[in-house]
Amino acid sequence: MTWLIFAMLTVACWGLYGILLHAGQIKMGDPVNGRYKALLLVGLAYFLIAVLAPLFVLIVNKASWSFPFQGSYLSLLAGVVGAIGAFGVLLAFGAKGSPAVVMSIIFAGAPIVNAVVAICLHPPQGGLGSIKPQFVLGIVLAAVGGCLVSYYKPKPVPPKEPVTSELQQERTESESGYLFRS
């Protein structure tokens, strides 16, 4: 069951990904280029985690440095589509997509794409007719779930009004007992 722990680690990390990416984009203080700056730093993080960590493990394990073409090509393609996906997330945020809605659509839609493509690449024994209705129901529920989460997401607390120095002084005097109101 160790695989489940690693899967849940990924769920937690990818669940935080959109929230942190959006916050980083906003905190860049650059409405035009903040998302590209955020993606650049995501790329740096990928270099640190996805290049240096496996390099270290390969060296420690004294691995072969043979990289067959098909494995290399498909792995590189996986990185390309992952990076394009990250860029798409930022473009969705830049187009005023709410992180809760954008990420709900992505995390509901991605498993559907995964299931359909996997079935096309590796058809089930007995053909498409052997697919159980529960599988189809799962795909429908994933789509409906993504829609429901997006449509009924809770509204955030409205931002507080900025406190003026006069209002702040009034509050301070009131709290200290110098100002009484009837």
Q: Which long-range contacts (CB under 8 A, 24 or more apart) does 163-169 make?
A: none
Q: Report pLDDT digits (tens) over 30-72.
A: 988 999 999 999 999 999 999 999 999 999 999 999 999 999 9
- Mean pLDDT over 79-99 rounds to 89
Task: Determine the residue type at 90.
Answer: L
| Beta carbons of 77 and 108 less than 8 angstroms apart | no
Query: What is 52-88 written as a DSSP string?
Result: IHHHHHHHHTT------HHHHHHHHHHHHHHHHHHHH
Instruction: Report pLDDT digits (tens) over 118-137.
Output: 999 999 999 888 999 999 99
